[in-house]
Amino acid sequence: MKYILIVGDGMSDYPVPELGDKTPLQAAHKPNMDAIAAKGQSGLIKNVPDQCTPGSDVAICSVLSYNPARFCPGRGPLEAPSRGINLGPNDTAYRCNIITEENGAIADYSAGHISTEEAAELIAAVKSKFDKKGEIEFHSGLDYRHFLIMRNFTTPELIKCTPPHDARGVAVSEVLPKALAPEAEKTAQLLRDMIAGSREILKDHPVNIAREMSAKSPGNLIWLWGGGKKPSMPTLKEKFGVKSAVISAVDLVKGIGSYAGMEIINVEGATGLYNTNYEGKADAALKALETNDLVFVHVEAPDEAGHIGDYQLKVKTIEDLDRRLLGRIMSGMAEPYAIAILPDHPTPIKLRTHSRDPVPFAIAAPSLKPDGVTGFDEFSAKKGGFGLVENEYLLSLLLSCR
């Protein structure tokens, strides 16, 4: 028996007026998702507990059966392993976005989805200014997503940092890192100083001059957030006895997979955007299932469409996921399998950020009798046999199917 877990990041949404008051999932042509719902059972699942901030770190931990209140210390330490960054017990890892500041406010959390190559040059410039051996290290990552590692700094939980995608249009001065206790003030000030100092380093950098000449958003500021220390997590092999693999373009998902003991499979052309290599991910999943019991495939593209408020692009990413990835996997399976499809969290078009609403899911497996639901979307799932799931994890439900 093989198990396949497909997550379309941020797919879930609210009704969009421009789509005839349908959600992108309702509006999209997605026969393979609908087939999973028709052959199996559906429901709604709450991946973001009330006490947690809605985000992919929390939601992906939940999907994979890890209590986020215990195992989700912040984006930085969860993502760092995917870049080969080793963390000691007293080290703190922060996410470091390359962003666009305009008129003193956060204009774009991704600097116009700056390329990895361009961003690497900008991070190198920041690194040359701020790196301090044995204390402060900047590391480049994918696209706009990078890292600050602070060695022997132990108070990340006492510093409030705002994710840049939650602060579009907000004055930078209003959302700078803030100490929640006196003992964290020195570190918070250091973070603020590095953010402010990056402005002078980046404003006239050749990469940004070239971007502005091409009418692209400049990467003219770094933004530090998601700080935390290394978690200690049992592997999926220890929890469920399964050998597993993960396929994603996103450092966060690969980092969580690394802690979970999953094989990390990198696919050429996997970008985390609408132009990702869907077929390559599908083929890699089929190959990985030859030697693994479970394969988890993550697609970031719908989430990015939600963040920029593009409902047409979001529909397209859902349709591409369905046709080019999901259908390819399902048609390529020869032996019995159980498969689950879901978003991790909603990224509603009207909010342009994450919400904590329950998300639809569907599972098809030989042992599951159809529940009469024939489509996969937020409203059809309410009628599903699983009902509203609040105290169970998706992976636990999937692996209980035979």
Helix (H, G, I), strand (E, B) or coil at 119: helix
What pLDDT does 226 receive? 94
For residue 51, CA distances in Å to 67, 88, 284 come to 12, 27, 36
Q: With pLDDT > 90 as the criterion, what percentage of the chain qualifies?
A: 95
- How many angstroms separate the CA atoms of 148 and 163, rounded? 15
337's enclosing H/E stretch is strand 337-342
What pLDDT does 155 receive? 86
- How many angstroms separate the CA atoms of 189 and 271, rounded? 34
What pLDDT does 402 receive? 81
Given a contact cutoff of 8 angstroms between Cβ atoms, the answer to whether 280 and 267 are in contact is yes
Q: CA 303: distance to chain centroid?
A: 8
- How many angstroms separate the CA atoms of 116 and 310, rounded? 23
Helix ranges (H only) for 265-390 are: 278-288, 301-307, 311-320, 327-332
Burial (0-12, 13-18, 19+ Cβ within 10 Å), 336: exposed
- What is the distance between the terminal CA atoms of the chain, rounded to a whole angstrom? 7
pLDDT per residue as tens digits for the range 349-372 = 999 999 999 999 999 999 999 999
- CATH fold, domain 2-71+233-399, is Alkaline Phosphatase, subunit A (3.40.720)
What pLDDT does 154 receive? 77
What pLDDT does 330 receive? 98
Helix ranges (H only) for 169-245 are: 185-202, 206-213, 236-240
What pLDDT does 36 receive? 98
At position 124, the amino acid (one-letter code) is: A
The DSSP code for 368 is P
Position 285 pLDDT exceeds 90: yes
- How many angstroms separate the CA atoms of 317 and 121, rounded? 30
Mean pLDDT of the chain: 96
pLDDT per residue as tens digits for the range 148-171 = 999 998 789 999 999 999 999 999
What pLDDT does 282 receive? 98
Mean pLDDT of 68-83: 92
pLDDT per residue as tens digits for the range 296-309 = 999 999 999 999 99
Q: Which of 257, 211, 239 has its CA nearest to residue 399?
A: 239
Looking at the chain, the domain(s) classified CATH 3.40.720.10 span 2-71+233-399
Burial (0-12, 13-18, 19+ Cβ within 10 Å), 73: buried
What pLDDT does 122 receive? 98
Given a contact cutoff of 8 angstroms between Cβ atoms, the answer to whether 361 and 44 are in contact is yes
Mean pLDDT of 296-324: 97
Position 347 pLDDT exceeds 90: yes
pTM: 0.88
CA angle at 204 for the pair 200 and 205, rounded to the nearest 5°: 100
Mean pLDDT of 128-145: 94
Mean pLDDT of 321-347: 97
Mean pLDDT of 229-233: 93
Q: Alpha-carbon dihedral of residues 262, 265, 269, 274, nearest 10 degrees?
A: -30
pLDDT per residue as tens digits for the range 15-69 = 999 999 999 999 999 999 999 999 999 999 999 999 998 999 999 999 999 999 9
Phi, psi angles (nearest 5°) of residue 389: -100, 120
Position 124 pLDDT exceeds 80: yes
What pLDDT does 126 receive? 98
Sole residue written with tokens 């969580």: 256
- How many angstroms separate the CA atoms of 102 and 212, rounded? 13
